[in-house]
């Protein structure tokens, strides 16, 4: 039995829409998550909010950056509640734990309580990022993974792993099967933001980047398949 932290982007929930939440996509992602939980492994999630709101983007248009980031944190709570609902409809208990206090709709994030939920085989979704402006949800994912003693961070993307250049724009892009954290930092590979990468590196938590859109990709990693790019 292992403990994993899955990082989902908010954009992963858009599906066929231009923004917002596609219920069909949420259901499909949730069934993949429940499949992992049913193996007896423990799974926590951090989800972004970019499908609803991006604080950094609006800051460029003149809104105060702290205010923008606070709105972005609330967007992650919306996504977390949508995932919780879909997961629980599949018969698995799920808890949303928010880094900012919204007691009527989620639990406060308390590390020991989060670990206890995981030990009871509940899925835990960490919402509202770190609870602080200027920090991305990638950094929140690394931080929470360290706090709950996760064995690995799983970074879900729309491509098969980490490439030397954008595979959407460049047909000759090369997929890396394995990288070190130093390579990611020195070559400035677009995996996660620098703070998130450094946190994983310093705490010796491996990171696997994989294609969430590929059917069965998540469960295959849990079963030991060498899918995507491993960074350690």
- What CATH number does the domain containing 41 carry? 3.40.1160.10
Name the band, by pLDDT with cuts 50, 70 and 90, for residue 171: confident
Residue with token string 């998540």:
218
Closest residue by Cα to residue 208 from 174, 168, 182, 178: 178
Domain assignment of residue 105, given as a range? 3-231
Name the band, by pLDDT with cuts 50, 70 and 90, for residue 167: confident
pLDDT above 90 for 45: yes
Q: pLDDT tens digit string along 111-136?
A: 999 999 999 999 999 999 999 999 99
Domains: count for the chain = 1
User: Is the overall model pTM greater than 0.85, yes or no?
Assistant: yes
């Amino acid at each position: 039995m292992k403990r994993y932290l899955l990082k989902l982007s908010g954009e992963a929930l858009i599906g066929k829409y231009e923004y917002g939440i596609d219920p069909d996509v949420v259901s499909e992602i949730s069934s993949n998550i429940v499949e992992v939980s049913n193996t007896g492994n423990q799974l926590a999630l951090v989800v972004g909010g970019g499908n609803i709101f991006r604080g950094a983007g609006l800051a460029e248009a003149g809104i105060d950056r702290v205010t923008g980031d606070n709105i972005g944190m609330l967007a992650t709570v919306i996504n977390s509640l949508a995932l919780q609902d879909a997961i629980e409809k599949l018969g698995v208990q799920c808890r949303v734990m928010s880094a900012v206090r919204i007691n009527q709709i989620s639990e406060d994030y308390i590390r020991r309580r989060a670990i206890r939920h995981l030990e009871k085989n509940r899925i835990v979704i960490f919402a509202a990022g770190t609870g602080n402006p200027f920090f991305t949800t990638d950094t929140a994912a690394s931080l929470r993974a360290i706090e709950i003693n996760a064995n690995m961070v799983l970074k879900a993307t729309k491509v098969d792993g980490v490439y030397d250049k954008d595979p959407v724009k460049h047909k000759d892009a090369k997929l890396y099967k394995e990288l070190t954290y130093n390579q990611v930092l020195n070559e400035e590979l677009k995996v996660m933001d620098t703070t998130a990468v450094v946190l994983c590196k310093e705490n010796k938590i491996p990171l696997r980047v994989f294609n969430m859109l590929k059917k069965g990709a998540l469960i295959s990693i849990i079963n030991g398949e060498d899918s995507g790019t491993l960074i350690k």
